[in-house]
Amino acid sequence: MLRRGGGPPRILVTNDDGVHSPGLRLLYEAVRDLGRVYVLAPETPKSASGLGITLHKPLRISKIKLWNDVTVYMTNGTPSDVIYLALEELSPRIDLVLSGVNIGDNTSIQVILSSGTIGAAAQAALLGILGIAFSANVGDASELEEDTETWENIKRVIRSVVKWVLENGVPEEADILSVNFPRRVTPETKAQIVPAARTKFLQKVSIIYDPRGNKYYWLYGTLVDPEPGTDVYTVHKEKAIALTPLSLDLNLHGTRWQNAVAKLQPLAKSIEEALVAGSETG
Amino acid sequence: MLRRGGGPPRILVTNDDGVHSPGLRLLYEAVRDLGRVYVLAPETPKSASGLGITLHKPLRISKIKLWNDVTVYMTNGTPSDVIYLALEELSPRIDLVLSGVNIGDNTSIQVILSSGTIGAAAQAALLGILGIAFSANVGDASELEEDTETWENIKRVIRSVVKWVLENGVPEEADILSVNFPRRVTPETKAQIVPAARTKFLQKVSIIYDPRGNKYYWLYGTLVDPEPGTDVYTVHKEKAIALTPLSLDLNLHGTRWQNAVAKLQPLAKSIEEALVAGSETG
C-alpha cells in the first residue's frame, strides 16, 4: 500500500496547462473519490516549463470554485512550484501527485525533459512522493472535450491506474510513471509498457516579418518517423496507451561510468596542469 | 577531432543568466580564439528554465556590442530556444555549445534538471551537438568579477577543457559534460570526475505578508549535507572542480527494465479490462 500515514491517501492533482484546462477537470473527476484530493495548478498555461522553479519573484495562491463547486487552488508559479506550495499550504503529507491530463502527449525524452506535466511528477519524486503524469495525444482541449467516448475511457484508465498504484505502488526501479493516451481511446485500446524514444520532433524555426518589416521567429516541431517499441510509436502508430516508467538518474553506471572516468582522467590532469602553469607564467 | 566540417570549429556561447552576466563574458574570453565563436543568449535572466522551449509567443533576436566591441546576439527566448535560433540564424553547423559560466553551481540532479545552463547543453545534445555546461559556486556575479585570481583561473580551466574536447571529444557514454567550479579556484585546486548527487537543497517556502496583509510565498533552498564522492561534496566540501559526464537517457535498462516491466504487466492488463468492462456497463 502506498498510504504512509493514517486516513485516506492524500492526492495532489495538478497540471501545466492551467486550472482552466479540461484535462485538469478530467483528471480530478477520475480520482475525486479515491482519497483526500487537493487541486492546485498554475493559473495560466506553463507548457514547456520543465522542472523550472520560481526563485526570482513572489508566488501567490488564490482559491476559486470550478466544476460544480469544487475548490481549486491556483498559483502564478510553475507546476514544480506547485509541489512545494501544496506541501506548505494544503497538506504537509502528500502520498501521490497526479499531473495532467496534458493536452498533447509527452512522449520521447526530448519532450519529457521540457514538459511541465512530467516536471511536476519529477519534483514530487525528488521529494520521495510518487508522481504519475498523464498526457493525451490531442491537438487542443476541445478535441478532448468533444470526444465523449475517449473522455470517459481516459477517465476509466486513470481510475484503474491510480487504484492499482495505491494498492501496489510503482516498481522501485522507477521514479515516475508516465501514461500517454492515443488520440482515441476505445474498449479495444491496448496498453503497453514501453521505453521513451530519444526524440519526437525535428524542431524547426519559422521566420515571419511583422507589419513594420521586423523579423521574428516561431518555434515548432515536425514529427520524426518513430522507432517501433518506443512510446512515440505506441501512441502515434499503434494508437495504444503507453506506460513508461522513468528514472531521474542522469548518471552513468557500471562499465559505462568506468569507461567515461578512464577517458576523462587525462582531462582532469590537464586542468590541474593548466592551473599550475598559469601561476608560473603569472 | 570534434570538427565535423571544414574550417575552424564553430562554437556557440550561451547562458541562462542573460547577456549582461559577467559569466558569459568570462566564457567568451576563455574561448574567443579557439574557433569561430558566436554569442547568443537570453536578454534577461532565465534561471531555472530547464529545457523549456518557447512555443506560445514569437521570438526576436537583436544585436548589441559588448565587451570592447564584441557582437553579441540576444533573444527574448530561453537557453534552449537559443540552440534552435542559432542554427537558423547564425550558422547551420555548430560543433560545440558552451553554456555558462552560471552564477551558482549546478550540482545534483535536482538542480541539473531545472537548470537553464544545463538545459542549453542538453538541447544541443539532443541534436547531436556536443554540449558543455560551466557553473561556479558564487552567490552573485560581483563575487566572480572581484576575485580576479579565480576569474583568471576559471578562464584557464575553460580553455583547457575546450581545447581538450576539441581534440578528443567527450566519452561516447555521455551526452553532456558539466563542469562545476568551487568558490575559489587557485593553482592548487584539484579536478575530480564525480557523479551527480540526487539532491542538493531542502526546498523551502517562506511565507510573507504584503503591506495590504495578503499572503505571498518565496521559494528558497537550504543545502543538505552532501554525500562524499558526489558533485555537491566535491564543489562544496572539497573545494575542487567537479567534472560530471551526464546521460539524458531516462529509461531503465537491463534487469532494472525487465523487473519494472514484469511488475507493471498486471497494471497493463487491468487497464485493458477496465476499458472492456466500461463498454459493457455503458
CB contact under 8 A, B274 and A126: no
Instruction: Write the pLDDT tens digit of every residue in A164-192.
Output: 999 999 899 999 999 999 999 999 999 99
Q: Nearest-CA neighbor of A24 among A148, A154, A115?
A: A154
Q: Nearest-CA neighbor of B135 among B12, B15, B46, B10?
A: B15
Answer whether residue B212 is part of any domain. no
Same domain, A66 and A96: yes
Do the Cβ atoms of A23 and A123 come closer than 8 Å? no
Cell of B263: 511488475
CB contact under 8 A, A114 and B52: yes
A159 phi and psi angles, rounded to 5 deg:
-55, -45
Same domain, A186 and A258: no
Do the Cβ atoms of A40 and A85 come closer than 8 Å? yes
Same domain, A257 and A245: no
CB contact under 8 A, B207 and A259: no
Answer whether residue B4 is part of any domain. no
Residue B6, min C-alpha distance to chain A (Å): 25
DSSP, residue by residue, chain B: ----SSSSPEEEEE-SS-TT-HHHHHHHHHHTTSSEEEEEEESS--TT-TT----SS-B-EEEEEETTTEEEEEESS-HHHHHHHHHHHT-S--SEEEEEEEES---SHHHHTT-HHHHHHHHHHHTT-EEEEEEE--SSHHHHHH-HHHHHHHHHHHHHHHHHHHHH---TT-SEEEEEE-S---TT--EEE-PPPS--EEEEEEEEE-TTS-EEEEEEEEE--PPTTSHHHHHHTS--EEEEEE----S--HHHHHHHHHHHHHHHHHHHHHHHHHHHH-
CA distance A75 to A117: 15
Q: What was the pLDDT predicted at A5?
A: 65
Helix (H, G, I), strand (E, B) or coil at A182: coil
Of A218-222, A228-232, B153-157, B213-217, where does mean pLDDT reach its minimum?
A218-222
Q: Is any Cβ of chain A less than 8 angstroms from the Cβ of B162?
A: no
Answer whether residue A216 is part of any domain. no
A-B contacts at Cβ under 8 angstroms: 305
Section B156-178 average pLDDT: 95
CB contact under 8 A, A187 and B279: yes
Instruction: Write the pLDDT tens digit of every residue in A102-113.
Output: 999 999 999 999
Section B257-282 average pLDDT: 92
Contact residues on chain A for B214, CB-CB shorter than 8 A: 60
Give the CATH number, domain containing residue A229: 3.40.1210.10
Instruction: Write the pLDDT tens digit of every residue in A14-37.
Output: 999 999 999 999 999 999 999 999
User: Beta partners for B178?
Assistant: B133, B244
Same domain, B245 and B277: no
CA distance B236 to B141: 18
Residue B69, min C-alpha distance to chain A (Å): 24
Q: What was the pLDDT predicted at A52?
A: 76
List the single residue in A174, A204, A250 with the smallest CB-CB distance to B252: A174
CB contact under 8 A, B191 and A267: yes
pLDDT at B32 over 90: yes
List the single residue in A177, A260, A272 with the smallest CB-CB distance to B190: A272
Answer whether residue B118 is part of any domain. yes
Residue A2 pLDDT class (50, 70, 90 cuts): low
Of A182-186, A253-257, B202-206, where does mean pLDDT reach its minimum?
B202-206
Interface of B with A in 216-275 (CB under 8 A): 216-220, 241, 243-252, 256-257, 259-261, 263-275
Same domain, A185 and A281: no
Answer whether residue B132 is part of any domain. yes
pLDDT at B270 over 90: yes
CA distance B154 to B4: 27
Of A20-34, B38-52, B54-68, B237-251, where does mean pLDDT reach its minimum?
B38-52
Same domain, A114 and A236: yes
CA distance A14 to A42: 8
Using CB atoms within 10 A of its CB, is residue A194 exposed (0-12), middle (13-18) or buried (19+)? buried
List the single residue in A165, A245, A279 with the smallest CB-CB distance to B260: A245
Residue B4 pLDDT class (50, 70, 90 cuts): low
Angle at which helix A254-281 crosses helix B148-168, to 10 degrees, equals: 130
Same domain, B246 and B258: no
Q: Taking CA atoms, what residue in B is nearest to A262? A: B171
Q: Nearest-CA neighbor of B32 among B176, B167, B155, B181?
A: B155
Answer whether residue B125 is part of any domain. yes
Answer whether residue A84 is part of any domain. yes
Section A197-210 average pLDDT: 88
Q: What was the pLDDT predicted at A4?
A: 58
User: Beta partners for A177?
Assistant: A132, A245
pLDDT at A282 over 80: no
A246 phi and psi angles, rounded to 5 deg:
-120, 145
Same domain, B37 and B172: yes
Chain mean pLDDT for chain B? 92
CB contact under 8 A, A173 and B259: yes
List the single residue in B48, B156, B259 with the smallest CB-CB distance to A53: B48
Chain mean pLDDT for chain A? 92
Residue A131 pLDDT class (50, 70, 90 cuts): very high
pLDDT at A1 over 60: no
CB contact under 8 A, A203 and B84: yes
List the single residue in A192, A241, A271 with the smallest CB-CB distance to B160: A271
CA distance A278 to A275: 5
B227 or A6: which leads in pLDDT = B227
The radius of gyration computed from the CA coordinates of chain B, to the nearest angstrom, equals 21
Residue B3, min C-alpha distance to chain A (Å): 18
Give me the sign of the Cα torsion angle A270, A275, A279, A282.
positive
Of B112-116, B128-132, B169-173, the range with the highest mean pLDDT is: B128-132
Residue B18 pLDDT class (50, 70, 90 cuts): very high
Residue B282 pLDDT class (50, 70, 90 cuts): low
List the single residue in B54, B152, B161 with the smallest CB-CB distance to A278: B152
pLDDT at B56 over 80: no
Contact residues on chain B for A156, CB-CB shorter than 8 A: 274-275, 278
Section B5-17 average pLDDT: 91
Helix (H, G, I), strand (E, B) or coil at A42: strand
pLDDT at A48 over 90: no
CB contact under 8 A, B260 and A171: yes
Same domain, A100 and A235: yes
CA distance B79 to B101: 13
CB contact under 8 A, B195 and A251: yes
Q: What was the pLDDT predicted at A162?
A: 98
Cell of A95: 502520498
Q: What was the pLDDT predicted at B5?
A: 65
Q: What was the pLDDT predicted at B105?
A: 96
User: B271 lies in which domain range?
Assistant: 254-282
Interface of A with B in 64-123 (CB under 8 A): 77, 80-81, 84-85, 87-89, 109-110, 112-114, 119, 122
Domain count along chain A: 2
Q: What was the pLDDT predicted at A205?
A: 87
Angle at which helix A148-168 crosses helix A22-31, to 10 degrees, equals: 50
CB contact under 8 A, A45 and B60: no
List the single residue in A51, A85, A267 with the smallest CB-CB distance to B114: A51
Section B160-182 average pLDDT: 95
Residue B210 pLDDT class (50, 70, 90 cuts): confident
Q: What percent of chain B has pLDDT over 70?
A: 96
Q: What was the pLDDT predicted at B95?
A: 96
List the single residue in A87, A168, A243 with the smallest CB-CB distance to B268: A243
Residue B202 pLDDT class (50, 70, 90 cuts): confident
Q: What percent of chain A has pLDDT over 90?
A: 78
Same domain, B147 and B71: yes
* pTM for this predicted structure: 0.92
Do the Cβ atoms of A65 and A92 come closer than 8 Å? no
Answer whether residue B201 is part of any domain. no
ipTM, 2 dp = 0.91
Q: Taking CA atoms, what residue in A is nearest to B117? A: A52
Residue A93 pLDDT class (50, 70, 90 cuts): very high
Same domain, A52 and A185: yes
- What does each C-alpha distance from A270 to A48, A126, A239, A267, B139 come to in angstroms? 38, 35, 52, 5, 28
Q: What was the pLDDT predicted at A3?
A: 52
DSSP, residue by residue, A252-266: --HHHHHHHHHHHHH
Same domain, B233 and B281: no
Give the containing element (helix H, strand E) for A132: strand A130-136
